[in-house]
Amino acid sequence: MTAHYVGRFAPSPTGLLHAGSLVAALASWLDARANAGRWLVRIEDLDTPRNLEGAAEAILGQLERCGLVADAAPLRQSTRITAYQQALDRLVATRCAYACGCSRRDLELAVAPARMERARHAERIYPGTCRDGLHGKLARSFRLRTVPPDPSDGGAPSSTIAWVDRRLGAQQQDVATSVGDFVLKRADGVWAYQLAVVVDDAAQGVTDVVRGEDLVGNTARQILLQRLLGLPTPRYLHAPLVLAAGGEKLSKQTGAEPLELASPLLALQAAGAVLGLDTGGMTLGDWLAGAVAQWRRRWPLP
């Protein structure tokens, strides 16, 4: 293995792995192994009320049964609070983030006329009510300022983010108009996904993020945060999803059942089929070796 490639899989311990999350885990593992890199597991356990006792250990056990073993002990986000606070402090000090006093009801009333839609891992598009001060309200949350505080500052990162996804090709999003000033720390004190993932990817030296296609909409926000914090931007590959009967992404919220691992090989074969892989290995080791070779040919690094 070399230090030039570092990938990761980051499950939340709100339940066991299911067919969809195995696809994401397998894709990230295959990409790391195909590039002689390191593969890490990060436990995204910040949303404490939703965590299930013992789920993190059970997830690691499921991965191990499928032959997907990390190259280091798992990192738990619940141990990283100081790092997130330091990142937020930097953003506030440079006027790239600010305190927000709006309640959920305030936001619903403010955005209702525009019929703004809710996006994954985000609240409705924020109209900027507290961008220039709390106006007598108490601070509840913290938000990223997606437009420069000084319009004349030509050196500030643009909110229009363009990147190339290794599977989906060229992508572009204007974070200011399509997402708005998004939350970095919630009103209940929980650190938001967007900030935590950016800080942890940089701290762990992650060079390649391979995850489900449902998360592609988060990428522009994360790249903007990386630029504002002076952090490197990894390569991205968003893998196909397992769909539920109704056509939506299979998830815990749509009734996904925990993985049936009486035969880990069968579970891997099903996950591989979603990724377009068809290897003839009859043992776990042989199947994984064949899948690595196929992945390397199909998704070489740019």
pTM above 0.85, yes or no: yes
Closest CA to 221 of 178, 283, 259: 178
- pLDDT tens digits for range 9-37: 999 999 999 999 999 999 999 999 999 99
How does residue 2 score in pLDDT terms, banded at 50, 70 and 90?
A: very low
Question: For the chain, how many residues are written?
Answer: 302
**Residue 33: count of CB within 10 angstroms of its CB:** 22
Residues 6+ apart with CB under 8 A from 246: 254
- pLDDT tens digits for range 213-262: 999 999 999 999 999 999 999 999 999 998 777 777 777 776 678 898 99
How does residue 122 score in pLDDT terms, banded at 50, 70 and 90?
A: very low
Write down the pLDDT at residue 120: 43
Write down the pLDDT at residue 238: 98
The residues facing 42 across adjacent strands are 75
Task: Decide if 146 contacts 228 (C-beta within 8 A).
Answer: no
What's the whole-number mean pLDDT along residues 284-299? 97
Write down the pLDDT at residue 135: 84
CA dist 134 and 139 (Å) reads 7
Query: Regarding predicted confidence, which is higher, 123 or 57?
Result: 57
CA dist 263 and 166 (Å) reads 31
CA dist 119 and 195 (Å) reads 16
Write down the pLDDT at residue 69: 97
- pLDDT tens digits for range 38-49: 999 999 999 999
In the predicted structure, residue 146 carries a pLDDT above the cut 90: yes
Chain centre to alpha carbon of residue 122: 12
Q: Please report, to the nearest 10 degrees, the dihedral formed by the alpha carbons of residues 94, 182, 167, 4 taken in order.
A: 40
Write down the pLDDT at residue 82: 98
In the predicted structure, residue 142 carries a pLDDT above the cut 90: yes
Write down the pLDDT at residue 137: 86
Greatest distance between any 2 Cα atoms in the chain: 67
Candidate from 58-62, 190-194, 253-257, 273-277 with smallest mean pLDDT: 253-257
Write down the pLDDT at residue 177: 92
CA 168, 174, 178, 179 dihedral sign is positive
Secondary structure (DSSP) of 217-280? GGHHHHHHHHHHHT-PPPEEEEE---B-TTSSBP-GGGTPPBP--SSHHHHHHHHHHHTT----
What's the whole-number mean pLDDT along residues 136-147? 92
How does residue 121 score in pLDDT terms, banded at 50, 70 and 90?
A: very low
Most confident by average pLDDT, 24-33, 124-133, 280-289: 24-33
Write down the pLDDT at residue 152: 61
Write down the pLDDT at residue 105: 81
In the predicted structure, residue 1 carries a pLDDT above the cut 50: no
Write down the pLDDT at residue 114: 52
- pLDDT tens digits for range 58-78: 999 999 999 999 999 999 999
In the predicted structure, residue 118 carries a pLDDT above the cut 60: no
The residues facing 141 across adjacent strands are 100
